Amino acid sequence: MEFRHLGRSGLKISEITYGNWITHGSQVQDDLAIKTMHAALDAGITTFDTADVYAATKAEVVMGKALKGQRRESLEIFTKVYWPTGDGVNDRGLSRKHIMESCNASLQRLQTDYVDLYQAHRFDYETPLEETLRAFDDLVRQGKVLYVGVSEWNAQQIRDAVRIAADMGFDRIISNQPQYNMLWRVIESEVIPASEELGLSQIVWSPIAQGVLTGKYKAGEPVPEGSRATDKNGGADMVSRWLTDAVLNAVAKLEPIAADMKLTMSQLAIAWTLSNPNVASAIVGASRPEQITENAQAAGITLPEDVLSAIDYALGDLVQTDAALTVSPQPRA
């Protein structure tokens, strides 16, 4: 496993982060989920990402069980706040009330005294940034949070937050967690330049495009049984946008590229995201131990320029680059 600094901080994280978004607490039974997380540890992964909203808080519970007994100082545990975790009017967003209550609840579920990185899961248009940033800073001062990050914020939102944090003497933001893969590159034109300037790194999710970049989905063929495309708990909705003949035929052209590099398709896709110097880590989920063992081997791989060019040529104009697609939900009213 290789490690990279997270933003302009002293914190190092593993190039592969284990994430349990869709799988734990819903798709995968707890005992198998725990075995899979232990396989991640065996592969050298030290960074683990979750969120309070995943599987209606159950994902954090599973992660807490799986990491119990591990040396806490050897792990980097990340979670997030924003989405609803209850039916109350204040059970969502980035108000001080929701942030404080959500952090305390997450710590209990994760069975830890602190999280290494606490992330604003989306931008909240209804709460002043000053209120959100003060709440995060207070959690840092209390020792419950070591570093602060955001997820799926656009470049201007990141700039505003960094400026306000500096003006008010708050702990600064060191990371952003966006979707990023060969097909979805919307952060490249604005978010990454702003992040490089301001000292943030990307921790990217969906590096294999919900499984599409593994090559297991074929144009004109039914989706494989048991795949994410058959999951009615949210997985199918996420992957459906990629299941067009045009995309699947283009992805098939990546297979000889991966073979020439002696990589699996998944490893090629993950290594591609890590070829961007502003990416600190790629978040990889798994429903079986062997999946994470395979994908962890993408760490430390350097893709030559001719391979990167061949990938671009294969995917052509199917790549999405519109920066305006980095959006958070508009005000609840």
What domains are defined for the chain? 3-208+264-301 (3.20.20.100)
Amino acid of residue 93: G
Helical segments of the chain, H only: 30-42, 58-67, 96-110, 129-142, 155-168, 191-198, 235-239, 245-252, 255-260, 265-274, 289-296, 305-315
Confidence at residue 135, expressed as pLDDT on a 0 to 100 scale? 97
- pLDDT tens profile 20-79: 886 654 556 778 888 999 999 999 999 999 999 988 889 999 999 999 999 999 999 999
Residue 149: is it exposed, middle or buried by C-beta count within 10 angstroms (0-12/13-18/19+)? buried
Confidence at residue 217, expressed as pLDDT on a 0 to 100 scale? 77
Confidence at residue 230, expressed as pLDDT on a 0 to 100 scale? 47
Residues marked active site are found at 54
Q: What is the pTM of this model?
A: 0.91
Q: Which two tokens stand for residue 81?
A: 């706040």
Positions in the chain short of pLDDT 50: 25, 229-230
Spatial contact of 165 and 171, defined as CB atoms under 8 Å apart = yes
CA atoms of 103 and 247, how far apart (whole Å): 40
CA atoms of 51 and 124, how far apart (whole Å): 16
Closest by CA to 44, choosing from 306, 316, 313, 297, is: 297
Phi, psi of 183, deg, nearest 5: -90, -25
Q: Which two tokens stand for residue 181?
A: 């893969």
Confidence at residue 232, expressed as pLDDT on a 0 to 100 scale? 60
181 torsion bin: left (phi>0), alpha (psi -120 to 50), beta (else): beta
- pLDDT tens profile 262-298: 999 999 999 999 999 999 999 998 888 999 999 999 9
Confidence at residue 56, expressed as pLDDT on a 0 to 100 scale? 86
